[in-house]
Amino acid sequence: MATFSGNRGLQMEQPLIFEQGSPDRTAVDLPDVPAVGDRLGGLKRQQPVGLPGLSEPEVVRHYTRLSQKNYCIDSGLYPLGSCTMKHNPRLNEKLARLPGIGDLHPLQPVSTAQGALMIIDACARWLMALTGMPAVAMSPGAGAHGEFVGMAAIRAAHEDRGDARRRVLVPESAHGTNPATAVACGYAVEPIPANRRGRVDIGRLRAALAPDVAAIMVTNPNTCGLFETDILDIAAAAHDVGAYFYCDGANFNAIVGRVRPGDLGVDAMHINLHKTFSTPHGGGGPGSGPVVLSAALAPYAPVPYVVNEGDGLSLVEYAAASDGKPCGRIKGFHGQFGMFVRALAYMMSMGSDGLKQAATDAVINANYVMARLKDVMTPSFDGPCMHEALFDDRFLKGSEITTLDFAKALIDEGYHPMTVYFPLIVPGAMLIEPTETESRQSLDRFIDVMRALAARAVAGDAERFRNAPRFTPRRRLDETSAARHPVLRWRTPAVDRAAE
């Protein structure tokens, strides 16, 4: 049923701010600008700037309403796998806003920022302890950036020996950024298929390994939510041909405190602070992707880095001042310092026992979801999972309902959908990652909805799914037209008319 206003209860129809404004309204009362001479010559603006005119309450309402349209971890369960959408404790935010931290400037003299360097150093030590690795580069700005730095260090290490290599092996069960990173670092990528158990086919990997392979990139746990059980053999096989072992650490949350990547033979692994260590994610970022390095790769870590020796902490800012052979500088200043504060606050408040429990709970929660849904949906692989429960679309066969329809129906139920159609090796994939954030009660509510939807789907109630979501402001969006004819820039109606 349509309403006269376009609003539906508390769900407000909200035009763009430019569509609401008019020149006769204003939130501020400015004095008239006195006539002054200028030296702009012919460069003076001829048209009005076109800023929207609104009163202060209108501006406040506009942005409040927009914020209410956003679904986030603070508004509900977020089952989006492949990224750990977990709770960011408010304590982290409080600490990051302390004046001595929040008001720091990156160009302050080092002697006046000793506390900040101490935070970077302490955060680095926690990360090295948890991964069992001897070095870490803190400056990468996000996960894929960390991958790039890790692969750049690998490239630098090979070239330093005069051993330029050509290929990088990437299993199909790895993250999509991995092959992109390898290409960005100048390597040819060779995919390694997964076996029937959703893990790296080690026979095929061994067959592809040769002295021209620079590295293998393995995500562990992998994108099917499974632990790579042959990981030690994979590492040994890579090292046997002189290749390095890059591990994608995006799913580190599932094993923190239980497995140290250093013990698995990993040479480089990025850590998404904004996933594993609870700093904001999903548009709330920025991200942060420190990369831990083995002793063989440590000399090639990029500048800057913190040195903590004797009296006070110092920064090594230039390659010439370094003992090692840095692969370069990859970011302005010192990395996402605000994220270091949040991650350190999280690690210290959780303690090593708390971090271990978080990983355990994340895995138990995913297995609980798996156990309670496996009789009505179709798990892609047998046996327990790690942090993600992966289903495919076999249970929808014959219903004319697709994975996409199923996900859209979840929106009507007030849940953000899980990851769909990824990993690519599973047809119609639905990947559910609850994380340790959710309680048993919260999981049960979600699972009950999933079971009810699955029952409706199997009963042939295609209508409910094909038109979903029905209760959102814009109903089912036409994603195909949006992708084929994207409108990337708002233009004033006058400009639009002139263009026609």
Partner 1 sequence: MLCFTREHEWISVTDDEEGTVGITDYAQKQLGDVVFVELPEVGSRLLQGAQAAVVESVKAASEVYAPASGEVIAVNTALAEDPARVNTDAMGAGWFFKIRLDDPGELAGLLSEGDYREHVEALH
Q: Does 424 bind partner 1 (CB under 8 A)?
A: yes
Question: Judged by CB under 8 A, how many residues of this single chain contact partner 1?
Answer: 7
Whether 271 and 291 have beta carbons less than 8 Å apart is answered as yes
Using the minimum distance from each CB to partner 1, give the nearer residue, 268 or 420: 420
Q: Does 474 bind partner 1 (CB under 8 A)?
A: no
Using the minimum distance from each CB to partner 1, give the nearer residue, 404 or 458: 404
Tell me which residues in 61-90 interact with partner 1 (CB under 8 A).
Answer: none
Using the minimum distance from each CB to partner 1, give the nearer residue, 225 or 423: 423
Q: Which of 408, 425, 426 is nearest to 417 (CA)?
A: 408
Tell me phi and psi for residue 298, to 5 degrees: -50, -40
Q: Does 483 bind partner 1 (CB under 8 A)?
A: yes
What is d(CA 399, CA 258) in angstroms, rounded to the nearest whole number?
42
Q: Does 487 bind partner 1 (CB under 8 A)?
A: no
- Among the listed ranges 294-302, 303-311, 447-455, 480-488, the one in contact with partner 1 (CB under 8 A) is 480-488
Alpha carbon separation from 134 to 123, 250, 287, 293, 412 (Å, rounded): 14, 19, 23, 7, 49
Q: DSSP assignment of 55-103, as one string?
A: -HHHHHHHHHHHHHT---TTTS---BTTTT-----HHHHHHHTSHHHHT
Largest CA distance in the chain: 80
Strands 244-248 and 213-219: parallel
Output DSSP code: residue 321.
G
Residue 499, H or E segment: helix 493-499
Using the minimum distance from each CB to partner 1, give the nearer residue, 71 or 421: 421
| Residue 480 Cβ vs partner 1, minimum distance, rounded to whole Å | 4
- Among the listed ranges 56-64, 118-126, 443-451, 476-484, the one in contact with partner 1 (CB under 8 A) is 476-484
Q: Which of 290, 180, 165, 291 is nearest to 238 (CA)?
A: 165
Output DSSP code: residue 11.
B
Q: Does 479 bind partner 1 (CB under 8 A)?
A: yes
Q: Does 24 bind partner 1 (CB under 8 A)?
A: no
Among 4, 332, 480, 487, binds partner 1 (CB under 8 A): 480
440-458 helix and 337-373 helix, angle to the nearest 10 degrees: 50
Strands 305-308 and 167-171: unpaired
Q: Does 183 bind partner 1 (CB under 8 A)?
A: no
| Residue 235 Cβ vs partner 1, minimum distance, rounded to whole Å | 29
- Among the listed ranges 50-58, 103-111, 147-155, 479-487, the one in contact with partner 1 (CB under 8 A) is 479-487
Residue 78, sorted as left (phi over 0), alpha (psi -120 to 50) or beta, turns out to be beta
Using the minimum distance from each CB to partner 1, give the nearer residue, 405 or 436: 405
Q: Does 38 bind partner 1 (CB under 8 A)?
A: no
Burial 391-424 (b: 16+ CB within 10 A, else e): bbbebbeebebbbbbbbbbbbbbebbbbbbbbbe
Binding mask 267-306 for partner 1 (x = CB under 8 A): ----------------------------------------
- Among the listed ranges 302-310, 337-345, 368-376, 421-429, the one in contact with partner 1 (CB under 8 A) is 421-429
Q: Does 459 bind partner 1 (CB under 8 A)?
A: no
Q: Does 2 bind partner 1 (CB under 8 A)?
A: no
403-412 helix and 440-458 helix, angle to the nearest 10 degrees: 130
| Residue 402 Cβ vs partner 1, minimum distance, rounded to whole Å | 9
**Tokens 């996000």 label which residue?**
142
Using the minimum distance from each CB to partner 1, give the nearer residue, 309 or 479: 479
Q: Does 484 bind partner 1 (CB under 8 A)?
A: yes
Q: DSSP assignment of 322-335, as one string?
A: -SS----B-SSTTS
Whether 174 and 191 have beta carbons less than 8 Å apart is answered as no
Q: Does 111 bind partner 1 (CB under 8 A)?
A: no
| Residue 426 Cβ vs partner 1, minimum distance, rounded to whole Å | 12
- Among the listed ranges 6-14, 274-282, 317-325, 478-486, the one in contact with partner 1 (CB under 8 A) is 478-486
Among 286, 384, 421, 442, binds partner 1 (CB under 8 A): 421
Using the minimum distance from each CB to partner 1, give the nearer residue, 191 or 383: 191
What is d(CA 38, CA 322) in angstroms, rounded to the nearest whole number?
51
What is d(CA 435, CA 406) in angstroms, rounded to the nearest whole number?
21
Binding mask 364-403 for partner 1 (x = CB under 8 A): ----------------------------------------
Query: Site residues (CB under 8 A) for partner 1?
Result: 421, 424, 427, 479-480, 483-484
